[in-house]
Amino acid sequence: MNDSLQSETNHQLSMELDPPFNESHATAEDWRKALHKVVPAVVVLRTTACRAFDTESAGASHATGFVVDKRRGIILTNRHVVKPGPVTAEAMFVNREEIPVYPIYRDPVHDFGFFRYDPGAVKFLSYEEIPLAPEAASVGLEIKVVGNDSGEKISILAGTLARLDRDAPFYKKDGYNDFNTFYIQAASGTKGGSSGSPVIDWQGRAVALNAGCNSSSSSAFFFPLERIVRALTFLQKGRDSCEDKWEAVTIPRGTIQATFVHKGFDDTRRLGLQSETEELVRHASPPSETGMLVVDSVVPGGPAYDHLEPGDVLVRMNGEVVTQFLKMETLLDDSVGKNVELEFERGGTSLTVQLVVEDLHSITPNYFLEVSGAVIHPLSYQQARNFRFNCGLVYVSDPGYMLYRAGVPRHAIIKRLADKDTSNLEDFVDVLSKLSRGARVPLEYINYKDRHRKKSVLVTVDRHEWYASPQIYTRDDTSGIWIRKPALPSSSQLISSGITQVPNGVASMDTSSSEHVLEVSNNKDASADGMVIAEVEDSTSPGDHDTLADSSNASVAERVIEPTLVMFSVHVPSSCMVDGVHAQHFVGTGVIIFHSEEMGLVAVDKNTVAVSASDVRLSFAAFPIEIPGEVAFLHPVHNYALIAYDPSLLGPAGNLVVRAAQLLPEPALRRGESVCLVGLNKSLQATSRKSVVTNPCAALKISSADSPRYRATNMEVIELDTDFGSMFSGVLTDEHGRVKAIWGSFSTQIKYGSSSSEDHHFTRGIHVHSISQVLNKIISGAKGQSFLINGIKRPMPLVRVLEVEFYCTLLSKARSFGLSNNWIQALVKKDPVRRQVLRVKCCLAGSKAENLLEQGDMVLAINRKPVTCFNDVEEACHALDVSDDMDTKLVFTIFRQGREMEVEVGTDIRDGNGTTRVINWCGCLVQDPHPEVRALGFLPKEGHGVYVARWSSGSPVHRYGLYSQQWIVEVNGKPTPDLDAFVNVTKEIEDGEFVRVRTVHLNGKPRVLTLKQDLHYWPTWELRFDPETATWHRRIIKSLETGDSL
């Protein structure tokens, strides 16, 4: 941890008398003997904070500790190493013996804590405990810091103690800071990893505990040992009172919730301290005393609130003159639950007050609520002091997903939920238990950065089972783990599954029965009334647009198309960030392409709806309402998705004004043709402009991202002379408001050099031809898997694709490669505008085209018909749909290395569901390789394997380095070619077992690593989309509670 660069002027100019310099006569041999004894007792601590809690974030780190009691198995280190929240840790001795350690105590205020271990587990090392000698610390003492500095196994840094009365270092304004204590300072230059190192003298005694540093000045800050010795004594007595195991030990700690600082007598005189009082204090204190304790801050609602104020100078406590932190804390710790009398001066006036000493542990949270990935617990004394709020308020340590969607930040204090006051966590849980899945309720919170204004947001309870049901975790220092139990009663609607829509757009829970599910057969006339097929002039009435654009200012196209536009707000849960999706929140504009009493469909680009595992909210330009949507179809190739909504949620008034746009796929746009670009601004107001098509068939070129994700390939897009910028999406219409194209957003990466890149977005026109085809199949009844939309099962179309990426080459260049004049003339005759030939860029690994088509092949014809553009290839694939034979092949005429040849290539059938299954194992998301991974042209020869899409902070994979962008091909020597095989292998592994994992990176580099499974904090679970219910369901595969796999 780094100290703040802020420094007090009075410290820089301090002239107080330090204790006399103690000359050291230690020789090099003395130090060698001391280090020989100390080094074996120093351990490297590898810790994993499994959840964000209080002042600490979830994550993995390494630090140092040292044995202070060999017989009982006690290791001393820092509080920020032991962590205030859930932690798993191992200690590694100098001989590379690694043993598990468990937290037994972390001080609520000061930066020290203890781990315990089993002494019998250390079998091959001879070591001794390091004695603690707080009295040996003195200015001028030569010391050495022995620890794990900057990740090194053992590092020894020398230094000299310079100060014993340094203020506690200030690390950050919203994190852990020590206070009400002095620190020891030395110039030893410690860095990360050395936290918890012993500061030893030449006799091998620990004289202080390394805690932090100021990297800019190479100053190290050591915590004095007096309070540590007291706590250790309590732990030792507690251990001795138990026969065969550790029991939680209570160490009395008292507080009046006030922070003091030590100021010199010159400062206290300026604060109004009377001369008589200064004389009294000097006579009652040692000659070396140079100042007094002054109130720096008081926590609201604490014992000292309204009694003490900043600037008050403490004189006596319980009749004793107190000028040192140690004496003050000793008196408080010995008076928990009792009154203490404080005598102090305020501006020269003597005052006396009786205060109740509060139990410091009672305002230090030892439990938290986990809901939708959020960690919520009572506000701790540490953060209450940082933020100046009352202890015990409902504090957001990690917003998770549900609160993140609503815009609630970390460190927020929740005041109300669903119009109910939530003054403590119990109130919050009680309100939560009465909510149902999909419910939208108001939430009020405040933030320390803007403390005087409450903010009100709408929180949407998860409709899908993205996360486990709410859990309460409670710390158990006996076992060293946090015990988990359900936070809500089994009768709570939030526990049950299944979603039913209720009026006003709020979803409530119910278990759906099959009687309410309707089937739609392949009836071509089933829902034709939802399509716009009439002329535009006949389908509108003068009163339709009274609430929309002002007719005097808006164009005809704008007035016609505005009732069809929808603004999207899309969130992706962190528990299901599959397919390389690069963000959790997307916004964009879509257009309604179908609207009937039973179903509404909206088309939008896939840079807005990237994956099917999404929560979609739709806001309509024609009617002020926001309703949920469900991802119905993701085109496997083209950059568009279809989102379904329930028209009944619009109500009668909404359905009067909301309607579908008329699609006009033919005739295709031409260069120089005028179009109207219409979209929505952030205020849901239509914005339009006249534009001219500059290129109606621009071949799209998007390179692969660093982390493979969807990118549009084999697409021709429309370019305009003018638009509204890269973030504006909408539609392109003719002068009558008929949609010729979607103006959609595309994502790419701009790379700088070899190591850095930046996400970039741009907009282009997407022809509606493919959208129209898919829509017709949905309406008429497709051949694909049924999908439940608003209680009605509808077959969704399958798409026949050729899993090959092409690029275009001008015929002039193709001639240079040896292409014959006859073929060039044939291709020019086929398409005199483009004058190009398609070439193979790559075949997707595992596709039917792999090993048949090669990079650089020129595609001249398919089924002996010349092809010149991507659409020709797509039409050839679609022509095979009339056959029931799924293995029908295409005959490619290609030009390869100077020779013309024919190759039969099979096509692949894809649905529009996207990735519908993901496994979370040890904190990493595992899925089947998605198309963009396979587009790299490589799958592991070990049987493909499963792909790691994401990993979580504070998880075992974080601790041991199993990160994303690699395949897992073996677990404990057993192949894992697919998700089923992976589940079968991993469910046999027990909690705490080390697992050997063989991986292959995207660059083809194999690797073997080991990790330890933690089923308590990171159970194995599966998320799977069920098309029969149109919901995502979560299933526990293996956890400590289940004991074995389900």
Catalytic residue status for 111: yes
Q: How far is CA 12 from CA 6, 296, 375, 378, in A?
A: 11, 19, 41, 39
- How far is residue 524's CA from residue 507's CA, in Å, rounded to a whole number? 32
Token pair for 951: 């990993």
DSSP E strands: which ranges in 686-782?
686-699, 716-720, 730-733, 739-752, 756-767
- Please give the distance of CA 226 from its chain centroid, rounded to a whole number: 40
- Distance in angstroms (rounded) separating the CA atoms of residues 357 and 352: 15
The answer to whether the CB of 732 falls within 8 A of the CB of 677 is: yes
Active-site residue (options: 111, 477, 615, 646): 111
Check: CB of residue 588 under 8 Å from CB of residue 743.
Answer: no
Spatial distance between the Cα atoms of 771 and 694, rounded to a whole number of angstroms: 23
**CA-based torsion, 311, 312, 315, 319: positive or negative:** negative
Residues 860 and 817: beta-carbon distance below 8 Å: no
**Two structure tokens written together for 187:** 């110039």
Q: Are β-strands 142-147 and 254-255 bridged in parallel, bridged antiparallel, or unpaired?
A: unpaired
Identity at 971, one-letter amino acid code:
V
Residue type (1 letter), 681: N
Preceding omega of 119 cis (within 30 degrees of 0): no
Length, in residues, of the chain: 1046
Rounded Cα gap, residues 883 and 727, in angstroms:
42
Our answer to whether residue 80 is catalytic in this structure is yes
Tokens of 154: 């053992």
One-letter amino acid at 1001 equals H
- Choosing from 62, 80, 110, 930, which is the catalytic residue? 80
The phi and psi torsions of 707 (rounded to 5 degrees) equal: -105, 110
Are 545 and 659 in contact by the 8 Å Cβ rule? The answer is: no
Residue 290 amino acid letter: T
Between CA 199 and CA 224 the distance in angstroms is 10
User: Which residue in 155, 188, 194, 952 is the catalytic one?
Assistant: 194
Q: Is 262 a catalytic residue?
A: no
From residue 214, alpha-carbon distances to 40, 147, 220, 386, 575 in Å are 28, 17, 6, 21, 37
Distance from CA of residue 464 to its chain's centroid? 18
Give me the residue label for tokens 């050591």.
222
What is the rounded CA–CA span in Å between residue 473 and residue 482?
Answer: 6
Catalytic residues: 80, 111, 194
